[in-house]
Amino acid sequence: MINTEIFTSTNTAQRLLNDYDSGSLSHAYLIIGDKGSGKFTLATAFAQLILCEDPQDGKPCGRCACCSYFESFDSHPNVTVLTTGNKASIGVKEIREMSENVFTAPYMGSKKIYIIKEAEKLTPQAQNAMLKLIEEPPEYAVFFLLASTRYSMLSTVISRCRLLNMTPYPKHVLEGIIRDKAPETDSATSAALISRAQGNPGRLLSSISKDDSIRTQVVTSVEALLTQNMEAVLDSVNFIDSRESAISFVFTLNEIMRDVSVYKLEENASHIINTDLEELIARVAQSTSLKKIVQFLDDIRDTHKMLTGNVTYQLCVKSLLLKW
Ligand SMILES: [Zn+2]
């Protein structure tokens, strides 16, 4: 995505830009949005703008020493990114290490930016350590806490941050991504991809770039559910080998079943998201009662919640499908 679109295409970016333009940047932002919604891209773009030595019309100049760091290395010495790495959570040790860096004044530029990805995975102790940092930060520090949900965040942390919710990217931006990444895409496929992405550029990119194998497996599962072939149903989830693939499977199943409920209610396909699966969605809707679909959507939601905890993920998905 080109920079100008990051800065102008969403209300979230517009709010950050207003803070920047009016000189009222907060020391801490909590940005909430689904996976792929562009939180990190937005935080990084703003880090560049904040550090740029010669910003022009609310955008980084792209030429100064700071901007050339971003252009060449996708980063800058004054920007620290904290992630879970391979771990399930971010602990207090990582925040203490980061705080040593926070209290060392910048050796170039006037600001230091800290981006914490998956902030919902900060342990309560880590959040308390984080709280100390954002309560009395050095003048030059700006924190971006990025999270997919605010519910595991301590209210004390939330109240110290300026809260921003990611808003969906408009259609023309997603069309631009398709033109850039997959120029050979025909217009029907492009429309189906945009419909499924629901304004989420990460979801669009993963549909374009990867084989979409999980979605194919979900379609296989749904077909097997329709024919009541339980052996095939259980086989269809044998590929699940990680919590992440289990979550993607359940997420995709939820989108398809949500479409089934919409089709059932409206008796037509005009508001479904998975436009390329219209025929399958119609068949499921016609062969199932609304009550059963609504119950199954509840089961999906419960399973999704369970998958974020400590459960055997493949078994968890199998038990979900057996509830159909
Ligand atoms: Zn610049």
CA separation for the pair 69, 63 (Å, rounded): 10
315 and 231 housed in the same domain: yes
Name the phi and psi angles at 81, rounded to 5: -115, 125
Domain count, the chain: 3
Shared-domain flag, residues 274 and 134: no
**Is residue 308 predicted with pLDDT exceeding 90?**
no
> Looking at residue 263, what is its pLDDT?
95
153 with 190, same domain? Answer: no
- At 211 the pLDDT is 55
Determine the average pLDDT of the residues in 55-68. 89
Q: Tell me the CATH number at 229.
A: 1.20.272.10
Q: How many CA atoms lie within 13 A of 119 on its CB side?
A: 30
Average confidence (pLDDT) over 190-219: 85
Q: What is the DSSP string of 203-244?
A: HHHHHHHS--HHHHHHHHHHHHHHTT-HHHHHHTTTT--SHH
Residue 110: give its domain's CATH number. 3.40.50.300
Q: Side by side, which strands form the sheet with 28-32?
A: 79-82, 112-116, 141-147, 28-32, 162-165
Ligand 1 center to 107 CA (angstroms): 17
| Pick from 111-115, 163-167, 268-272, 305-309: least confident | 305-309
Which position has the higher pLDDT, 211 or 212? 212
Judged by DSSP in three states, 3 sits in: helix
Angle at CA 39, nearest 5°, toward 35 and 45? 145
Mean pLDDT of 182-200: 89
**Could you say which of 209, 231, 266 is where a domain stops?**
209
Residues 54 and 138 in one domain: yes
Asked if 262 and 309 sit in the same domain, the reply is: yes
On whether both 11 and 127 belong to a single domain, the answer is yes
Q: Where a domain ends, among 148, 165, 182?
A: 165
Residue 12 CA to ligand 1 centre (angstroms): 22
d(CA 319, CA 304): 12
Can you give the three-state secondary structure of 45-114, one letter per residue?
Answer: HHHHHHHCCCCECCECCCCCHHHHHHHHHCCCCCEEEECCCCCCCECHHHHHHHHHHHCCCCCCCCCEEE
pLDDT of 143 higher than 70: yes
Cα of 58 vs centre of ligand 1, distance in Å, is 11
Residue predicted with more confidence, 1 or 164: 164
Ligand 1: distance of its center to the CA of 179 in Å?
27
The yes-or-no verdict on residue 46 having pLDDT over 70 is yes
Residue 26 to residue 135: CA distance in whole angstroms = 11
Give residue 210's pLDDT: 61
The first and second tokens of residue 7, run together, are 């800065």
**The token pair that represents 292 in the structure block:** 């059963």
Residue 187, pLDDT > 50, answer: yes
Burial 181-190 (b: 16+ CB within 10 A, else e): ebeebeeeeb
If asked whether residues 72 and 148 sit together in one domain, one would say: yes
284 Cα: distance to centroid of ligand 1 (angstroms): 54
Q: What is the pLDDT at residue 1?
A: 41
Are 120 and 194 found together in one domain? no
For the stretch 13-41, pLDDT in tens is: 999 999 999 999 999 999 999 989 999 99
Domain with 70, as residue range(s), is 3-165
User: pLDDT tens digits, residue range 96-127?
Assistant: 999 999 999 998 888 999 999 999 999 999 99
Cα 104 to averaged position of ligand 1 atoms, centre (Å): 23
**159 & 174 share domain:** no
* Six token digits for residue 200: 């989420």
Res 142 pLDDT > 60: yes
Q: What band does 223 get if pLDDT is binned at 50, 70 and 90?
A: very high
Domain shared by 148 and 14, yes or no: yes
d(CA 42, ligand 1 centre) in Å: 16
The rounded distance, in Å, linking the Cα atoms of 233 and 314 is: 12
Whether 5 has a pLDDT exceeding 60, the answer reads: yes
Q: What is the pLDDT of residue 200?
A: 93
Q: Do 174 and 270 belong to one domain?
A: no
Pair (183, 223) in one structural domain = no
Global confidence as pTM = 0.77
| Through-space distance between the first and last CA atoms of the chain, rounded to whole angstroms | 40
